[in-house]
Amino acid sequence: MTAGPLLSLRNLQVELRVEGGSLPILDGIDLDLAPGKVLALVGESGSGKSVTAQAILRILPRILRIAGGQIRFRPNGSDIDLAALSADGGAIQGIRGRQIAMIFQEPMSSFSPLHTIGNQVGEVLRIHERLSKIEARERTIGLFDRVGIPNPASAVDRYPFEFSGGMRQRAMIAKALSCSPSLLLADEPTTALDVTIQAQILTLMRDLQAELGMGILFITHDLGVVAQMADEVAIMYAGKIVERGPVRAIFKQPLHPYTINLLRAVPRLQDLHRRRALNPIRGSVPSLFEMPAGCAFHPRCEFYMAGRCDAATPELLPVGVNHFVACYRHG
Amino acid sequence: MDDLFDTAAAGGTLIELRDLKVHFPLRKAKFLEKSPGAVRAVDGVSLRIRRGETLGLVGESGSGKTTLGRAVLRAVEPTGGQVLFHRNGNAIDVTALNRRGLRRLWQDMQMIFQDPYASLNPRMSVRDIISEPLVANHLARGKVLEKRVADIAGKCGLATEHLSRYPHAFSGGQRQRIAIARALVLQPEFVVCDEPVSALDVSIQAQILNLLRTLQRELGLTYLFISHDLAAVAYASDRVAVMYLGQIVELATTEELYYRPKHPYTEALMAAIPAADPETQMRPAPLAGERPDPAAPPPGCRFQTRCPYADAQCRSEPPPLIELAPGHFAACHHTARLRLRGALQQEDAPAAAEFLLLE
Amino acid sequence: MTSPAIILRPRSAKLRRPDVATQWQLIWRRFRRHRLALTGVVIIALLVIMGLFAEILAPYGPSERNPRYVSGPPMMLHMFDAEGGFHFRPFVYGRKIVRDSVTLRPMAVVDESVRWPVAFFVRGQEYSFWGLFRTEIHLFGTEAGFVHLFGTDDIGRDVFSRNLFAARISLSVGLIGVAVAFVLGTVIGGIAGYFGGLVDNLIMRLIEFIRSVPTLPLWLALSAALPRDWSALQVYVAITLILALIGWTWLARTVRSKLLALREEEFVMAARLSGCSDARIIGRHLLPSFASYLIVDLTISFPEILLAETALSFLGLGLREPVESWGVMLYAAQNIRAIAHMPWLLIPGLFVILAVLAFNFAGDGLRDAADPYAK
């Protein structure tokens, strides 16, 4: 297999244009995703996790723009900097849907209500592999079967509104995987689903990933999903990565105060019998217009050191095997 | 359903639901048609909520839990059954109240909604939002009004300078605080919390859950806590009811339900939650298929289409909700014979049992 | 553990913060970016000033006749005379009457030897300014001779002055008509949308009935039915009401459909649970949430009513003298002779176009800016 990572973000910066200037949304992101692995990108609202995925595929809304950094994508030995491509150009269009695919949170709004599901899923094949309509339809039926949609031959001719949420998500997965991409971006794919359906979808995704050997950037805020799906985890806060490492290390030895607090603040069933009180993180995520100086987490941090934490933003530094933290308590 | 009597309970019954039904007709009845099909969102729910407790109500989409919460308050009109509100020794039939009676009732029963972005009028200041119930009911004016608003806002963690701002200036958690302050300014006894933390960030959920708990102690509130998030419900509730397709399938104390469930659906729900522990192996998805159409539920037990233990009896006879152990109710023909697996094991809980299916 | 005041990252002071702005501030900021819409607003403001201050701005009264300059073309203002000399004060050349040798018609021709300087604040015909005071001072004019910037009509009345007075009439008909239609539409549409059911059904059928009748013949029939012996003022009021009574249906439908949708929103349910009466819910919660749509409707229906009144008057079925709108002025221009020989009589038409365009541009800008909560 290829030695280097499949996807490398280096100092990625994305800014938001407002009246009178711009504000940083992503403040220098560094990430590596190895081929065939699942990297979970964890964060709450305002962390910038969805923006990261949009930046990779160059589908940022017009008020956002990439202000610096690199997005290196290395499928099968080639090496492309996606940040340097034109957002409307043929190069990125050839990559979208073929080598990098994306699935979204709301399957209802990801499909056009005016076309059949089969039409929309087959569209990817017609564009990238130049299949005819009939060939695309046959392949789509096969894909539907693979993702567990019952009666695929008739499902192909149905409209999105005839499907339940779980079925639409399966169809979206089928569409994403139709050209066997090497990288899948999954933006909260199960957040809007019932927990029993979520279990089905997560099982499906893990099976398909093992089968196709693709890398997955899995964006979520649900720590349970992270624990079950991810090989590596990156925690984001206010546009920066604050901790990154293998999933066991993050859960067993969290180092960044935000990570520690996050794990303590989430109600978990295994703590039920211990009647453990929840310890919320006081305060709230800072608004873009009132971003704290230095480490963005310092106003909410129980280990705040005046003069240090508010002076300069801490760097993401290695503290163990593949484990990185951006905190002045550790290097 | 008198088998739902609370025995030696701390508080008496505050709210009683008797065979409550909410059916939404699919379309208007055609000429000479008896009645068209209907979505049976709530289909015969009987329940007692005790004074001072938090009763959790869990279910997935289509279970009818949100509709049930709204029907208790008559924010949505029930199509059958009764809701009784016990106040000062009298049982008030909520379902029979006229408009004026309802407005009076809503000073004692209130609701907190899921979406803090949608439940606040974006064009009213926070002060106006919180004081509106007092103003609309002509209960307070001037200085008295100011004081009551400031009091409840403070209890909900809002500062004085927040009162003159508008909802869009606040984060989701803070907006939910505003919504809670509005619901509590009338000092109600009973509050329906409809997914109060589902739309919030996980670290903020804890703040709001703790706030709700504190307010319950301080103000002597009774909650109906509706959620699809099993962990949040476990944290917040004393007892939990599980709904599936418009009916209660299990009701028990939180610990009993989560560790020793007696209904296969509850077992499946517990098994489906991804454990926040990378050491735990993820089990294969416990339930195949999807829920049936609420307008056309299957005959017999409604869970039979997905239940791994279903048999011929399940397909023909609907199981009644019966008390299997004190305070623990379940609606399943085979519950006595099944050994169902709960969420996780307590150290001194019975050892993990495989589920046995007896012929 | 309390933290002291948080040290913030420095940011540019020029940054505008949407999170602390009120709704109207947000709308205004977005509106400001539309050049065309701002131009529209400026033009509307100018037209309103024209209408309000017509007596002062106009050099002549609306019925004042100048027998020395009948059917005269517009008079140009000059700063340079025929020999190239510069005059600080603009002037018009004098006119003298000569008889045309062929037709024997008296005609006014330019006499370059005479200059009539145009000054500010000259005395002219006395007038009463909105009943507040009487004076003879006009904003500009000439005491030496006469100045007709837009020419005169066939009985010697100054088109420029009459145009200003017509602005007042046309705009006020539009304003009152829009106000009446607005109230009707909002109330009726509101009732239909909020209560639904049978009430909604009845109202919608009524609206459909009204809309199914062709508008122009309906207007013509209604205005033709007005008694000929009514005073001009009575006709004015009647015409305004006729236009409004047919114009409210569009707004009623919009209001109704918005209310039907909003009725199910959670903040409405929360308001009901808080004990709000229906009236309070409609007035305080529902209507303000689409106030922006209502404003946009105003900018759409205003030009419609303006054009309708112009058309009716142009056909002789609308307002009558001496209550004269732009449309009534155009009525006098409806013949070949006028168009061929006196094209300046069509200038009021240009003002109608200007007004309609200005409202449309402003309305476009408002529509785009109106919903600051939308993504």
> Which CATH number characterizes residue A43's domain?
3.40.50.300
Find where tokens 């399966």 sit: A170
In-domain check, residue C284: yes
In-domain check, residue C5: no
Average pLDDT score over residue span C62-69: 84
Strand residues in chain B grouped as ranges (E)? 13-25, 38-50, 54-58, 80-87, 90-93, 109-112, 190-194, 222-227, 239-244, 247-253, 322-325, 328-330
Neighbours of chain B (3+ CB pairs under 8 A): A, C
DSSP annotation of B162 reads: G
In-domain check, residue C35: no
In-domain check, residue C34: no
Is the ipTM beyond the 0.90 threshold? no
pLDDT of residue B240: 95
Most confident stretch, A128-132, A147-151, B19-23, C207-211: B19-23
Largest CA-CA distance found in chain B, in angstroms, rounded? 72
How far apart CA C155 and CA C164 sit, in angstroms, is 18
In-domain check, residue A108: no
DSSP, collapsed to helix, strand or coil, labels residue A267 as coil
C323 plus C339 within the same structural domain: yes
For the stretch A84-120, pLDDT in tens is 888 888 888 889 988 999 998 887 788 898 999 999 9
Over pLDDT 70: what percentage of chain A?
A: 96
C118 plus C242 within the same structural domain: no
In-domain check, residue C226: yes
- Whether C282 and C194 have beta carbons less than 8 Å apart is answered as yes
C220 plus C326 within the same structural domain: yes
pLDDT band at residue C20 using 50, 70 and 90 as cut-offs:
low
How far apart CA C340 and CA A85 sit, in angstroms, is 63
For the stretch B144-170, pLDDT in tens is 999 999 999 999 999 998 898 888 888
Strand residues in chain C grouped as ranges (E)? 78-80, 86-99, 106-117, 119-129, 133-141
C106 plus C208 within the same structural domain: no
Is B194's pLDDT higher than 90? yes
> For chain A, what is the domain count?
1
- Whether B158 and B177 have beta carbons less than 8 Å apart is answered as yes
How far apart CA A323 and CA B276 sit, in angstroms, is 19
Better pLDDT: A82 or B289:
A82
Tokens of C105: 């018609």
Of the candidate ranges A129-143, B112-126, B302-316, C357-371, the one whose mean pLDDT is the lowest: C357-371
C211 plus C281 within the same structural domain: yes
Closest CA to B98 of B74, B76, B81, B133: B74
CA-CA-CA-CA torsion sign (B257, B263, B267, B270) = negative
In-domain check, residue C30: no
Report the CATH number that the domain containing residue C211 is assigned in CATH: 1.10.3720.10
Q: Which residues between 222 and 251 in chain A have a beta carbon less than 8 angstroms from any beta carbon of chain B?
A: 222-230, 247-248, 251
Distance from CA of B129 to the nearest CA of A (A): 22
C322 plus C345 within the same structural domain: yes
How far apart CA A85 and CA A104 sit, in angstroms, is 23
Residue numbers in B near A44 (CB within 8 A): 201-204
Average pLDDT score over residue span B111-135: 89
Is B1's pLDDT higher than 50? no
Q: Which amino acid is at B320?
A: P
- Whether C124 and C138 have beta carbons less than 8 Å apart is answered as yes
C215 plus C132 within the same structural domain: no
Determine which helix (DSSP H) or strand (DSSP E) holds A263, and give its type and residue range. helix A257-265
In-domain check, residue C21: no
Q: What are phi and psi of B82, to 5 degrees?
A: -135, 155
C165 plus C279 within the same structural domain: yes
Better pLDDT: C365 or A100:
A100
Neighbours of chain A (3+ CB pairs under 8 A): B, C
CB contact under 8 A, B270 and A266: no
In-domain check, residue A131: no
Examine the fold and report which residue of C127, C153, C179 is the final residue of a domain before the chain moves on.
C153
pLDDT of residue B9: 39
Closest CA to B151 of B133, B130, B123: B130
C76 plus C193 within the same structural domain: no
Tokens of C221: 């029939």
How far apart CA A146 and CA A200 sit, in angstroms, is 13
Average pLDDT, chain B: 85
- Whether A47 and A98 have beta carbons less than 8 Å apart is answered as no
Closest CA to B262 of B341, B327, B187, B198: B341
pLDDT of residue C2: 40
How far apart CA A89 and CA A68 sit, in angstroms, is 19
Residue numbers in B near A256 (CB within 8 A): none
C131 plus C177 within the same structural domain: no
Q: At what angle do helices B142-155 and B126-136 cross, to 10 degrees?
A: 120
**Closest residue, chain A, to C13 (C-alpha):** A20
Please provide the DSSP assignment of B103-144 as one string. HHHTTTEEEE-S-TTTSS-TTS-HHHHHHHHHHHTT---HHH
Examine the fold and report which residue of C86, C118, C153 is the final residue of a domain before the chain moves on.
C153
Q: Is the omega angle on the peptide bond into residue A5 within 30 degrees of 0, that is, cis?
A: no
Cα-based angle C332, C335, C337 (whole degrees, multiple of 5): 105
Examine the fold and report which residue of C94, C122, C153 is the final residue of a domain before the chain moves on.
C153
> For chain C, what is the domain count?
2
Q: Which residues between 262 and 301 in chain A have a beta carbon less than 8 angstroms from any beta carbon of chain B?
A: 262-263, 265-270, 272-273, 277-282, 284-285, 287
DSSP annotation of A60 reads: -
pLDDT band at residue C350 using 50, 70 and 90 as cut-offs:
very high
DSSP, collapsed to helix, strand or coil, labels residue C164 as helix
How far apart CA B55 and CA B53 sit, in angstroms, is 6
Neighbours of B154 (CB within 10 A): 12
Alpha helix (H) ranges present in B163-263? 172-184, 202-219, 230-236, 254-259
Cα-based angle A256, A260, A264 (whole degrees, multiple of 5): 165
pLDDT of residue B132: 93
Find where tokens 């690199």 sit: A70
- Whether A81 and A70 have beta carbons less than 8 Å apart is answered as yes
pLDDT band at residue B90 using 50, 70 and 90 as cut-offs:
confident
How far apart CA B160 and CA B312 sit, in angstroms, is 64
Enclosing domain of residue A244: 7-99+179-325
Is B71's pLDDT higher than 90? yes
Residue numbers in A near B172 (CB within 8 A): 45
CB pairs under 8 A between A and C: 42
How far apart CA A321 and CA A247 sit, in angstroms, is 12
DSSP annotation of C226 reads: S
Enclosing domain of residue C282: 42-50+161-369
In-domain check, residue A260: yes
The β-bridge relationship of strands C106-117 and A317-320 is: unpaired
C261 plus C122 within the same structural domain: no
In-domain check, residue A118: no
- Whether C318 and C330 have beta carbons less than 8 Å apart is answered as no
Neighbours of C240 (CB within 10 A): 23
How far apart CA C173 and CA C243 sit, in angstroms, is 9
The β-bridge relationship of strands B109-112 and B90-93 is: unpaired
Is C106's pLDDT higher than 80? no
Of the candidate ranges A63-77, C3-17, C83-97, the one whose mean pLDDT is the lowest: C3-17
pLDDT band at residue C13 using 50, 70 and 90 as cut-offs:
low
In-domain check, residue A51: yes
Of the candidate ranges A315-329, C2-16, C142-156, C297-311, the one whose mean pLDDT is the lowest: C2-16
CB contact under 8 A, B285 and A268: no
Residue numbers in B near A279 (CB within 8 A): 206
For the stretch A213-233, pLDDT in tens is 899 999 998 898 999 999 999
pLDDT of residue B359: 20
Closest CA to A193 of B196, B268, B229: B229
CB contact under 8 A, A196 and B269: yes
Average pLDDT score over residue span C234-246: 80
Most confident stretch, A169-173, B351-355, C262-266, C321-325: A169-173
C108 plus C245 within the same structural domain: no
- Whether C107 and C100 have beta carbons less than 8 Å apart is answered as yes
Cα-based angle A293, A298, A304 (whole degrees, multiple of 5): 125
In-domain check, residue C267: yes
CB pairs under 8 A between A and B: 149
In-domain check, residue A79: yes
CA-CA-CA-CA torsion sign (B243, B248, B254, B260) = negative
Interface of A with C (CB under 8 A): 18-21, 23, 287, 289-294, 299, 302, 304, 306, 310
Average pLDDT score over residue span C26-49: 85
B199 CB contacts (<8 Å, ≥6 apart)? B114, B115, B116, B117, B172
